[in-house]
């Protein structure tokens, strides 16, 4: 077992950063010593690549667009991404599930990767591996957020199969921003962000958020607070260093789910068998950056980081005719580092954007699982009480080349290798083996190209591979040493048509196949066997008929099919939990210079609740209305009012089976919100 402490992690990070700083200073001194040119900002790996003109589908939100939606959490923006929908659980402190490219375990599982300034937020061993809580991010600190579809990026590896969310925070600049809102059920959301420079050499960026609400069901109070900040210093000679940190704490009560009878009779109630469910979390990161220019066109970016987290969840659910409460606790320590070299060059008249790099992390998770609790009091020995270690070393490269307007290719690859261990901390009831990790590695190629057919029409095509490690405890047992990572292969084509500046359409079609899903043909035996196919069409339309009027729409339809499975009765079925379609329509009308009205209409199709496809959820639609007053140059003051779910639709964005019985997580009823935004 690996044991870490804040002191040991801090010393390790300081030693690594000191070594990097010495390397950077030496490299800078070999360059243009004495140059007064400063690096504009701390950047992350791959930022030199063109995010706005890719060979594969992505949706990008800049800082102003993020703020325009007035979100209390960044994941609220996913509804604006074609083909993506949020299965809200309605459980404070617990990550919702995101569906993307035919996968339903994003966020709550490992189908969606999330990186913050290059640091992975996914947890290696929790909730089906890859659990990620985006509430540690303050929406107001976001500089830009890009959602990539499928395993297309060579810059990121595990948990990248359905897609990737890359979030970059504000770096540099002089600004002071405040967003505050209040509303139904005791809602209070206060966010602030501050940036300043000093002496032309020092930059400071700070952001914070405090959120609380009573929820729309009994026993649903939730409170969370986040503070993030960073300092960067120009050392001259094209070299810059920086240090940043993030602290997050959350405490929530939960009302669990509703049975079908309860949902139909009282959709906002609570079962009397639910105990004092909830979740508690403490999260912290510390990071050191060193960046320097080798030349005007080549940049070295490096950082080292540590993460510590304590997360516990208590959850009641039906079991054997009554409700039982369980506890899951995850204590994580992560140490990681990354170094990359990126450039923008011209060779033989061809513009080249490229990046090569390597990264590593070591993650230790102390996991405890109890069942049959009495109001969070443990009544028996642990089912699981064990520590897992996961170590990874990766190398990656990606190149974009504008050979000709009709042929602009991109090529990339990524190689990941994993090792680790599992050990028991105390006696436990589980019989799942806890042994050394079966060493695993994977090579993921990425290919694509763009073609500017006319001034208004661009075509793109890509083919990419991704992977997933064998899930859960399977990879920590010798009997599964024959297993390989599960392979994911995606092919995509798309077109963007912009006949006039005020109108554009983007349409993409994809096929994503998974191969080598793990099955157990006999007790104690494992093999790569299963196969699933996911296909779909996604579209985005933007139209600005005038300076005062704008419309945008996103739509996605997805079809999933089990091609090969250990249970032959499931072959030909859909994957459970994946909505048939999702659509979003937004309209805004600036009917006076100081007034804007807007609406958001959202529709999500039904989905099977289980693998057998014999129980389905219902589709639903919601409508939100908003009104914003702009106070001119008065510190960029905006006052807004919103009504969410105007029609008071009763719906359940999440539903599933436990013990053969359907359970429902109801969506919120009609809610009201009033707030203001201003900045300097």
Task: Please say if the pLDDT value at position 395 is more than 70.
Answer: yes
pLDDT-derived band at 348, boundaries 50, 70, 90:
confident
Encode pLDDT of 543-560 as tens digits. Answer: 999 999 999 999 999 999
Encode pLDDT of 498-542 as tens digits. Answer: 999 999 999 999 999 999 999 988 888 899 999 999 999 999 999
Instruction: Tally Cβ neighbours within 10 Å of residue 500.
Output: 9
pLDDT-derived band at 422, boundaries 50, 70, 90:
very high
Q: What is the pLDDT of residue 9?
A: 41
How many angstroms separate the first and last alpha carbons of the chain? 50
Report yes or no on 608 lying in a domain: yes
pLDDT-derived band at 4, boundaries 50, 70, 90:
very low
What mean pLDDT do residues 333-362 have? 94
Report yes or no on 671 lying in a domain: yes
What mean pLDDT do residues 107-113 have? 91
Report yes or no on 659 lying in a domain: yes
Report yes or no on 238 lying in a domain: yes
Q: What is the pLDDT of residue 14?
A: 41
Q: What is the pLDDT of residue 53?
A: 72
Report yes or no on 450 lying in a domain: yes
pLDDT-derived band at 31, boundaries 50, 70, 90:
very low
Encode pLDDT of 604-613 as tens digits. Answer: 999 999 899 9
Q: Which of 59, 14, 37 is nearest to 552 (CA)?
A: 59
User: Would you state the structure tokens that stand for residue 304, as one six-digit string?
Assistant: 């080292």
pLDDT-derived band at 416, boundaries 50, 70, 90:
very high
Distances in Å between the alpha carbon of 257 and those of 254, 577, 651, 654, 655?
Answer: 9, 16, 13, 10, 9
Pairing relation of β-strands 113-116 and 163-169? parallel
Q: What is the pLDDT of residue 19?
A: 40
Q: What is the pLDDT of residue 5?
A: 44
What mean pLDDT do residues 14-42 have? 40
Q: What is the pLDDT of residue 42?
A: 47
Q: What is the CB-side half-sphere exposure of residue 456 using CA atoms within 13 A?
A: 9
Q: What is the pLDDT of residue 635?
A: 66
Give percent helix, percent strand, percent coil of the chain, each to the nearest 5. 10, 55, 35
The whole-angstrom separation of Cα 68 and Cα 39 is: 30
Encode pLDDT of 574-600 as tens digits. Answer: 999 999 999 999 999 999 999 999 999
Range of the domain at 449: 6-316+327-377+386-424+445-679
- 32 vs 427, which has greater pLDDT? 427
Task: Please say if the pLDDT value at position 321 is more than 90.
Answer: no
Mean pLDDT is lowest, of 12-26, 100-114, 259-273, for: 12-26
Encode pLDDT of 275-298 as tens digits. Answer: 999 999 999 999 999 999 999 899
Task: Please say if the pLDDT value at position 17 is more than 70.
Answer: no
Residue with tokens 């405040």: 178
Contact call for residues 233 and 199 (beta carbons, < 8 A) = no
| Sheet with 113-116, edge to edge strand ranges | 58-62, 142-149, 163-169, 113-116, 119-120
Residue with tokens 């809610």: 671
Q: What is the pLDDT of residue 47?
A: 57
User: Would you state the structure tokens that stand for residue 679, as one six-digit string?
Assistant: 């900045």
What mean pLDDT do residues 5-24 have? 41
Q: What H or E segment, with its residue span, contains residue 420?
A: strand 408-424
Encode pLDDT of 262-272 as tens digits. Answer: 999 999 999 99
Encode pLDDT of 225-237 as tens digits. Answer: 999 999 999 998 8
Report yes or no on 433 lying in a domain: no
What is the chain's mean pLDDT, rounded?
90
Contact call for residues 287 and 118 (beta carbons, < 8 A) = no
Indicate the number of domains in the chain: 1
Report yes or no on 1 lying in a domain: no
Q: What is the pLDDT of residue 522?
A: 86
CATH of the domain at 244: 2.40.170.20
Q: What is the pLDDT of residue 237?
A: 83
Contact call for residues 629 and 595 (beta carbons, < 8 A) = yes
pLDDT-derived band at 338, boundaries 50, 70, 90:
very high
Report yes or no on 296 lying in a domain: yes
Output Rg (C-alpha) for the chain, integer angstroms.
25
Q: CB within 8 A of 562, min separation 6: which ones?
A: 530, 531, 532, 570, 571, 572, 573, 574, 575, 611
The whole-angstrom separation of Cα 516 and Cα 54 is: 29
What mean pLDDT do residues 39-59 have? 65
Contact call for residues 217 and 269 (beta carbons, < 8 A) = yes
- Residues facing residue 560 across a β-bridge: 534
Q: Which of 197, 129, 597, 606 is nearest to 367 (CA)?
A: 129
Q: Give pTM, 2 decimals.
A: 0.91
Task: Please say if the pLDDT value at position 145 is more than 50.
Answer: yes
């Amino acid at each position: 077992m690996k044991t870490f402490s804040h002191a040991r992690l801090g010393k390790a990070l300081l030693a690594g950063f000191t070594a990097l700083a010495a390397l950077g200073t030496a490299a800078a001194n070999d360059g243009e010593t004495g140059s007064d040119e400063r690096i504009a900002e701390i950047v992350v790996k791959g930022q030199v690549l063109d995010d706005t003109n890719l060979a594969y589908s992505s949706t990008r939100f800049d800082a102003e667009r993020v703020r325009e939606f007035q979100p209390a959490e960044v994941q609220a923006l996913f509804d604006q991404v074609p083909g993506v929908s949020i299965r809200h659980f309605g459980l404070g402190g617990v990550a919702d599930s995101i569906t993307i490219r035919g996968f339903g375990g994003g966020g709550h599982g490992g189908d969606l990767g999330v990186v913050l300034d290059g640091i992975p937020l996914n947890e290696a061993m929790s909730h089906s591996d890859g659990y990620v809580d985006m509430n540690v991010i303050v929406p107001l600190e976001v500089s830009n957020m890009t959602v990539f579809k499928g395993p297309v990026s060579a810059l990121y590896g595990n948990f990248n199969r359905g897609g990737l969310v890359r979030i970059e925070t504000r770096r540099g600049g002089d600004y002071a921003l405040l967003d505050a809102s209040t509303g139904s059920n005791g809602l209070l959301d206060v966010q602030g962000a501050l940036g300043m420079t000093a002496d032309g050499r020092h930059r400071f960026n700070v952001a914070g958020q405090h959120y609380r609400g009573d929820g729309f069901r009994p026993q649903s109070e939730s409170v969370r607070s986040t503070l993030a900040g960073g300092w960067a210093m120009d050392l001259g000679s094209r070299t810059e260093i920086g240090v940043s940190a993030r602290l997050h704490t959350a405490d929530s009560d939960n009302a669990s789910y509703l049975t079908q009878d309860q949902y139909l009779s009282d959709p906002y109630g609570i079962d009397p068998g639910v105990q004092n469910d909830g979740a508690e979390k403490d999260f912290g990161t510390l990071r050191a950056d060193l960046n320097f220019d080798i030349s005007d066109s080549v940049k070295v970016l490096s950082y080292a980081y540590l993460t510590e987290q304590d997360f516990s969840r208590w959850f009641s659910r039906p079991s054997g005719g009554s409700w039982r409460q369980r506890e899951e606790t995850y204590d994580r320590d992560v140490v990681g580092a990354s170094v990359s070299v990126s450039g923008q060059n011209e060779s033989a008249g061809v513009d080249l954007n490229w990046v090569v790099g390597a990264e590593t992390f070591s993650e230790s998770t102390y996991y405890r699982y109890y069942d049959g609790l009495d109001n969070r009091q443990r009544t028996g020995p642990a089912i699981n009480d064990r520590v897992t270690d996961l170590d990874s070393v990766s190398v990656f490269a990606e190149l974009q080349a504008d050979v000709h307007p009709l042929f602009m290719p991109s090529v990339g690859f990524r190689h990941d290798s994993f090792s680790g261990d599992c050990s028991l901390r105390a006696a436990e009831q589980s019989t799942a083996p806890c042994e050394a990790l079966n060493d695993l590695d994977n090579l993921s190629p990425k290919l694509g190209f763009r073609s500017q057919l006319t001034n208004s029409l661009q075509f793109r095509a890509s083919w990419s591979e991704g992977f997933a490690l064998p899930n859960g405890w399977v990879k920590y047992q010798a009997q599964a040493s024959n297993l390989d990572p599960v392979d994911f292969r995606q092919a995509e084509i798309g077109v963007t048509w912009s006949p006039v500046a005020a109108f554009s359409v983007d349409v993409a079609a994809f096929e994503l196949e998974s191969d080598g899903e793990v099955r157990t043909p006999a007790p104690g035996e494992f093999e790569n066997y299963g196969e699933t196919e996911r296909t779909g069409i996604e579209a985005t339309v933007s139209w600005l008929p005038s300076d005062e009027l704008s419309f945008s729409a996103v739509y996605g339809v997805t079809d999933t099919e089990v091609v090969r499975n250990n249970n032959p009765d499931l072959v030909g079925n859909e994957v459970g939990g994946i909505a048939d379609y999702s659509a979003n329509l937004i309209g805004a009308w600036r009917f006076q210079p100081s007034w804007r009205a807007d609406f958001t209409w959202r529709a999500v199709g039904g989905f099977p609740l289980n693998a057998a496809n014999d129980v389905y959820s219902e589709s639903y639609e919601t409508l939100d209305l908003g009104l914003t007053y702009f106070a001119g140059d008065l510190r960029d003051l905006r006052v807004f009012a919103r009504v969410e779910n105007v029609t008071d639709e009763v719906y359940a964005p999440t539903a599933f089976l436990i013990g053969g019985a359907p359970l429902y997580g109801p969506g919120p009823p009609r809610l009201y919100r009033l707030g203001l935004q201003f900045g300097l």
